[in-house]
Amino acid sequence: MFKKLMAIINELGAEVLFLKEILKTLIKTPCQPRLVYEQIWDVTMESLPTTAMAGFFVGAIMTIQFTMQMNEFGALGYLGGLATSGTIREVGPLLIAFMLSGKVGAFTSAELGTMRVTEQIDAIRCLGANPIQEIILPRFLGIVISAFFLLAAGLLMSVFGGMFLGSVFAGVNPEEYLRHVPTILAWPSVVGGLVKCFCFAALLATICTYKGYTTTGGAKGVGRSVVSTAVSTMVCIVVFDWLTSHLSEVLLRIIQEAS
């Protein structure tokens, strides 16, 4: 048990140092913007349909669950506000990030792992170039930027999904569904949801690039890196979700007391 705990701590430390190296490279020798744009385009186009569908059904599921409870109290008028608030603050970013970790994270880890075991990264270093600058940094920035906007787009689609199911399942028209959203969903909650999106995107980019870059053991090693990326990303996302939720509640309480 102690050895496993120490291995996890060492792994986290190595990932933090890897992130530090990426940021140092970004400041001193940034990569070509064209490479970043290509990564943003590729990640966005590959993942937008999946993210949009996931967001739509997350909002629909939340609406169905809240309808069952609120129908007993005759408060269906507040269905849109409560479902949207719960989706944007907690459930939406978490589930959509899980989808991206399985799609974007696994693909990037496999791609970089294959480059590592086939010695393409070593060849880049032999040519006098920095692999962090040429390979890792464009992917890191592309994943962070595109994943943030994909998560935000998924949350927007969750509102449409909730509105559609509210109309079909509960008989609440779209205008009534949206009327109480500003009442229940305050702007600090929206900011908190976007902060979670950014944190999850940065986590995903760091873990998948690190796992792929440090792959060893041939084809089997690539498979192990992909599995490790998926598991590590989901665990870290859950932990950060708890942390950001706690900090959001503290900040919201401070803002309410100050006002």
pLDDT at 255: 67
Half-sphere exposure of 30 (CA within 13 A, CB side): 7
Torsion of CA 101, 106, 111, 117, to 10 degrees: 130
pLDDT at 180: 74
Give the confidence band of 211 by pLDDT, cuts at 50, 70, 90.
very high
Query: What letters, b where the CB count within 10 A reaches 16 and e where it falls short, cover 102-117?
Result: bbbbbbbbbbbbbbbb
Sign of CA dihedral 211, 217, 223, 228: negative
pLDDT at residue 245 greater than cutoff 80: no
- CA 43 vs. chain centroid, Å, equals 13
Q: What is the mean pLDDT of residues 152-158?
A: 85
DSSP structure string for 237-248: HHHHHHHHHHHH
Give the confidence band of 259 by pLDDT, cuts at 50, 70, 90.
low
pLDDT at 96: 78
pLDDT at residue 1 greater than cutoff 70: no
- Cα–Cα dist 29/57, whole Å: 42
pLDDT at 100: 81
- Cα–Cα dist 216/224, whole Å: 9
pLDDT at 257: 73
pLDDT at residue 145 greater than cutoff 80: yes
Average pLDDT over the chain reads 83
pLDDT tens-digit series, residues 63-96: 888 787 777 776 677 777 778 877 877 777 887 7
Give the confidence band of 140 by pLDDT, cuts at 50, 70, 90.
very high
pLDDT at residue 210 greater than cutoff 90: yes
Do 140 and 206 form a contact (C-beta atoms < 8 A)?
yes
